[in-house]
Amino acid sequence: MKYTQLGRTGLKVSRLVLGTMNFGPQTDEADSHAIMDAALAAGINYFDTANVYGWGADKGRTEEIIGSWFAKGGERRDKVVLATKVYGNMAAEGDAWPNHDKLSALNIRRAVDASLKRLRTDHIDIYQFHHVDRSTPFEEIWQAIDTLVQQGKILYVGSSNFPGYKIAQANEIAARRGGTIGLVSEQCLYNLAERRAEMEVIPAAQDYGLGVIPWSPLHGGLLGGVLKKEIQGGRRAGGRAADTLADPAGRAQVQAYEDLLDKHGIEPGEAALAWLLTRPGITGPIVGPRTAEQLDSALRAVELELSQELLTGLDEIFPGPGPSPEAFAW
């Protein structure tokens, strides 16, 4: 495994991030534990989750599965850089209660304590805001975070799904308050098929020293050889991948992508991950394996070297927006 610093911090993290969203809803506890053991054995030390994972009536279930894995001992917790998120309402569906979601000081305090209990740990390494809260000022958010840092319950703070201007706003207010390091990472939707983050989010993250953690690196399976799997009778595409394939132009684009990688003898999913690892400012993509085999495929991507010819071909098929502000200004 290869490692890098998380943004401007001294924290060293693996270039693949183990996403746990499938633990519980699609992968049972025993198999989830096996995947985490395999990830740790392969050198992945950065594990990502969220308090709402498990979804529906099972919100929090994913954190519980990670907590039961930590409880097995063997230095599991000590070796892991643990990241979780706060924002979503944790109440049962249809039973939302005021102040049980978003980023008020009250909810942050409540959510941290609940996550710590489910995760069976005394601290969270990277506590992430899952979304922008337009109703809560950053002065209040940072005051709550400072208290938690002083209490030893969290170490660093990151954002997820923030636009560039909110990254700037959050860190400028943190700097004015003093004594607060501010955001150190941003999780955003970023992959070959979805490159809008290059216009504002990634430049802002780089300027403020945030590590960028792309989520959905295969764009919902679209970049994982979806057409080949379709022919072979495999799992049908859904969500973003299905929407793209329903458009003839989008389908032709994906076919050109798979044909190019077939020419180079590289698996599409591994190439999509390897491409992200070549991008400026990227710490490492989140991979969310449902099975041990999917984890093995992701691990191969770390060692994959993409030729300049292939990188050029990928840019031709999936062109980015270009540098900011020229991409939209001139």
Provide the annotated active-site residues: 53
Reduced to 3 states (helix: H, G, I; strand: E, B; else coil), residue 223 is: coil
Give the CB-side neighbour count of residue 149, counting CA atoms within 13 A. 15
Handedness of CA 246, 247, 252, 254 (dihedral sign): negative
Q: Would you say 62 and 53 are in contact if contact means Cβ atoms under 8 Å apart?
A: yes
DSSP three-state, residue 114 = helix
State the Cα torsion 22-25-27-30 to the nearest 10°. 120
Distance CA 330, CA 326 (A): 5
- CA-nearest of 74, 13, 71 to 43 is 13
What are the b/e assignments for 95-104, b being 16+ CB within 10 Å? eeeeebbbbb
What type of residue sits at position 11? L
Shortest CA distance to 202 belongs to which of 323, 308, 48, 319? 323
